[in-house]
Structure formats: C-alpha cells, structure tokens
Amino acid sequence: MMNTDKYMAFLKASECGSLSAAAEALHLTPSGVSRAVETLERELGLPLLYLKTSGVSPTPAGEELTPYIRRILQDESCLLEKARQLSGLETGVVRIGVAYGALYPWLAERMAEFQKLYPGIRFELENGHSSGLLQKVENRDCDLAVVSRRPWDGGWHPLLSDELVAVIPPHYAMDGSVPLSVFTKEAYIDVYPGEETDNALLFRENNITPRKWLSTADSNAMYSMVEAGLGVCINNRINTRAWRGNVKLLPLNPPRRVEIGIVFLLHPMPASERFVEFLRESPLLSNFTDCL
C-alpha cells in the first residue's frame, strides 16, 4: 500500500485552514499533521503551506499541486478497491450459521443467485442454536448467521417474526393455549441443554423452572419423543413445518414471539460483506411461506 498519509494531511490542512482541525478530522495530533506536511515538502522541494497565527493556507505551489495530490489519492482508492475485489470477491469463502432449518430453501436460493454473480465464492454452512451461532460470529468463526435476536453490537437484518408453540403428545387432554406452569409439572424435553436457547430465555424471563426429564440437541429426536408420549416441549413455529409426526402444536400463555434475522460483522471480509449486502437487498420475509 502506498504511504499517502502525507498527501491527506496536506489536503485536510488546506481545507480546514488549521492543523488542529485537520488533526481532529484525521484522528492524529497537530504535530503529526505538521510532520507529515513537512515530509512532503522535503520530498517535493517546495513549501506547500503558509503557517500563520490564524491558521494555515496553501502557498501558490501548494495550490497548483493540489489537483495532482487529489489524483494520487483517487488512484490509490481505485487501486485498493480493485485489489479488494480480486482478493475477496472473485474468490473466497462465506461461512454461514443457521439456527432455523426451515430457512434453508430461502437461503439456498439466495446463495444460487449470488453465485451467478460471483462464481468463485464458496459457502460453508453449519447449524446450531441462536446464542451459540452468535458467539461464532463474534469470534469470527462464522461470517454471518440466521438466528433469533439477541443483544449484539454488530449488524442485524430482520427477516420475519415467529412464535414459540407448545409441542404436546397427541393423547394429552390439552387444547387452547398452554400455560407455562405446565412445563413445571409435565416431563420436559430440553433441547440444547444448558444453552441460552429461545426456550431457556422464555423460562428465565418468566421465573419458570421446567421439570427437565429428557434432553437432546436434535429437534427431530424431540418430536419423536413427544409423539411417543415421553414428555412435552416448546419450539419455534417455523421449525414445526418440517415435522410430519402426530403431535399437538398449541399457542403459549402468555404468547411469545421472536424476531428472526441475520447477524453479521460490521467490518467483515469483502466476500461476506457483499453477500450480506445482497441479502439485505432481498425482500423481507413476512411468514413461513415466503421462505419456500
């Protein structure tokens, strides 16, 4: 990369009319700006700035050289952008975490559309629960993730709002909405035990301690256990659409909705940055049928 700090220091000092103002704009010290301009003056063999008690102003030589200096900075910007495209957009890997398998059809369609534009970019997918995948994004083990909303200082793009529902064996005499107190009495099947799942957050916020009886990290296993009458559970409505077994799906009392969207880093690698931009340009999902 070219060392263009001295050119930027001169231009900013000329524009601001003050070394201190230029330093503030460039996040430098006034002495740092002064040294950068002095370095440029020595290299060119010409004085570029008049130093006055009221500030600074360009010398005639400085005014005449200003267009050339601007061109150097513009050329550098073009150079870096081209290098960025070559290193990050024509080839590369975008790592995506997915907490909701029902969104795979929608995501796969977006990936296919994106690869038509950037055929050299590959994708790596992994599933998990929302808090775990968010941690992977924070640790830069994933570039972005489709999760339910959590406290997060990075980027967020909403996709849809979803509800949590009770998953009940078919022979249970339960209809209508299911009070959360039911999960303190019935055998509760804990999905992703010990993790900060949507279910765990729901229980914590309502001071509910479920009667944990069985556990699994597989939603399909949970449904099979519920169907067999081994216990009850809670799951996202969007996840229930893939299950064809015989269970009851009932609303909760009080009802609970979660916002599902995409978390991403604010300063990602170029390939993932472009893919996030591509996703954000796609229409928002209003319901599950939009995912198909």
* 9 and 119 within one domain: no
H-run or E-run covering 115: helix 104-117
Domain boundary among 88, 116, 149: 88
Say what the pLDDT of residue 91 is. 65
Q: Phi/psi at 120 (nearest 5 deg)?
A: -85, -5
**Residue 194 and residue 65 in one domain:** no
- Note whether 149 and 265 are same-domain residues: yes
What is the rounded CA–CA span in Å between residue 59 and residue 25?
Answer: 22
Predicted local distance difference test score (pLDDT) of residue 268: 78
At position 136, the amino acid (one-letter code) is: K
| CATH code of the domain covering residue 84 | 1.10.10.10
| 78 and 153 co-located in one domain | no
Same domain as 226, residue 112: no
Number of folded domains in the chain?
3
- Closest by CA to 134, choosing from 25, 264, 235, 18, is 264
pLDDT of residue 1: 40
Judge whether 218 and 239 are in contact, CB under 8 Å. no
What integer best gives the mean pLDDT of the chain?
87
To which residue do tokens 């975008």 refer?
94
State residue 180's pLDDT score.
94
Q: Which element (helix H / strand E) includes 148?
A: strand 144-148
Q: Rounded distance, CA 218 to CA 200, Å? A: 16
* Strand 92-98 versus strand 144-148 pairing type: parallel
> Rg of the Cα trace of the chain?
28
CATH code: domain of residue 230: 3.40.190.10
CA distance 155 to 139: 14
The domain of 13 spans 5-88
177 and 98 share a domain?
A: no
Q: Give the closest residue to 182 by CA, choosing from 200, 162, 203.
A: 203
Alpha carbon separation from 204 to 185, 200, 249 (Å, rounded):
17, 6, 22
Q: What is the pLDDT of residue 59?
A: 94
Query: Residue 187 has what DSSP assignment?
Result: P
Q: Do 101 and 181 belong together in one domain?
A: no
3-state secondary structure 36-84: HHHHHHHHHCCCCEEEECCEEEECHHHHHHHHHHHHHHHHHHHHHHHHH
Spell out the residues 6+ positions from residue 154 whose beta carbon is closer than 8 angstroms to its own: 137, 138, 263, 264, 265, 266
Report residue 92 as tokens: 């590369």
Show the tokens assigned to 63: 């005014």
Q: What is the pLDDT of residue 242?
A: 75
Residues of the chain with pLDDT under 50: 1, 288-289, 291-292
Is 49 in contact with 65 (CB distance < 8 Å)? no
User: How high is the pLDDT of residue 87?
Assistant: 63
